[in-house]
Structures are given as structure tokens and as C-alpha cells.
Amino acid sequence: MKQASIFTTFFLIILANVSLFFSMPVWLQAALCCFLCAPLFLTRKYKKGLKWLLISAIFVVGNACVLLYPDNFWGHYLLFLFSGFGKLLPVVIVAVVVFSTTRVSELVYGLRCLHVPQWIIIPLSVLFRFFPTIRYDYRQIREAMKFRGLAVSGASMLLHPFRSMELIYVPLLNNASNVAADLTAAALTRGISDPGTKSSLTEVSIGVVDIGMVVVGLGLLGCLVYA
């Protein structure tokens, strides 16, 4: 099945951020999270889609049951956990969708079609490549630590948090500045800052999937406003 276009992804980003300003009933929160997970299934990322559906179900059920707990410390803690973090869940799901289903070329092409200024496109294109690179560096650091017998498991990291932070975040932050500089240089070398007319190998078209998702999204937005 054809995946949604980059313009539909932009629409999902707006929808998820708008949902932060409204109080949602439980059924609407469940419907919104399921809808936002749809692009993962359209791109055949079934494992990741099921994972986030399960996380959404946990937060939705927890949000529905949290008021059953007595008015004490744990009750307030669970209320903050499921209601507070649950409200941010649509934004997190959209972020996962963007980084999992969108290529940098599609992102740049979509932003240029919307006539977004270059001073916004360039940092976004660098940022889009930055997080996957940092995640790869983090895995390399963890493998090196395990090879040396340092913080082999998650439990050992929790038992020695400050030492783990020193061993992980110091080299990670040191490498992050180099990664950002390299990615910026690579983007500029490819002519991303050239003010002339750009050509693109990426072709984006609006299809039935995009129209269907926008219609359903507008319906959910209407429910958000009038719920």
C-alpha cells in the first residue's frame, strides 16, 4: 500500500501539537493514538506500530483507571504519570513516525514546496540526520563499555548512575559537536544553501491514502474541539 506523503506528515504534526491544548476523553485519546500509528503500518513497520499501540493502550487504560486510586501520594503520582505523560504521547508517536518513515530528501522537498525559508530548512535537515547518528554513537559507546566490563547491564547503570553518566554522556557530548559540524559541512557541500532553483529526484503526489488520512484527522480535530 502506498505510504502517506510528506504533506500528510506535516498535517499529523500539526494535529498532534494542537491536541496538547485540549482535554480529551479516554475514547478520543485512544482513537487519536491509533490514527497516528497508521503510517507505521502503511510503511510495513508492523513491529514498531504494534509496540506503540501497546504503549498507547497502557496509557489509555491507566488514564481511565487512575481516578479509582485513593487521594494519596501514589494516587497523585499515577495521575501525573498517566495524565501528564499520556498527554504528550501523540507528539511522541508523531516524532517516531517522522523519523521512521520520512527521508531527508522528502522533508526538504516538502518544506521547499511550502516556501519555507532556507534558514529553517538547513537546520532541520541537519537535525534530521543528527539523531540517528547520535543513536549509533551511543550504541558504539555501550558496546565498548560492555567489552571493558563497565555497566554491562541496565541494573549496573542504575546502581552507579553518576559513573554511568560520566562514561556515556561525556564522550557522547564530545562527539555530538563533531557530528553536528560534519553534517552541516556535508549539507552545505551538496549545495543546500544555494539560492538558485533546486531540482529533486523525490516526487511527492497526493493520493487516496493522503485524502483519507486528512479527512479522518479533521474529524478527530472536530471531536477535540467539541468534546
Q: What is the DSSP string of 76-143?
A: HHHHIIIIIIHHHHHHHHHHHHHHHH--HHHHHHHHHHTT--HHHHHHHHHHHHHHHHHHHHHHHHHH
Whole-number pLDDT of residue 111: 84
Residue 117 has pLDDT above 90, yes or no: no
- Pick the closest to residue 108 from 4, 180, 198 (CA basis): 198
- The pLDDT confidence band at residue 152, using thresholds 50, 70 and 90, is low
Q: How far is CA 116 from CA 104, 107, 222, in A?
A: 15, 11, 28
In this prediction, residue 90 carries a pLDDT of 92
Model pLDDT, residue 200: 67
pTM for this structure? 0.77
Three-state secondary structure of 104-123: HHHHHHHHHHCCCCHHHHHH
Reported as a pLDDT band with limits 50, 70 and 90, residue 154 is low
What digits encode the pLDDT tens for the residues 158-198?
777 777 777 777 788 777 777 777 777 776 776 666 666 66
The three cell numbers locating residue 94: 508523531
Any idea which residue has 534530521 for its cell?
128
What pLDDT shows up at residue 219?
93
Q: How far is CA 192 from CA 111, 119, 185, 196, 209, in A?
A: 13, 10, 10, 10, 30
> Which residue type sits at 102?
T
- Cα separation, 170 vs 9, in Å, equals 35
Q: What is the pLDDT of residues 52-109, one digit of tens each?
A: 999 999 988 888 777 676 676 776 777 777 877 888 899 999 999 998 888 888 888 8
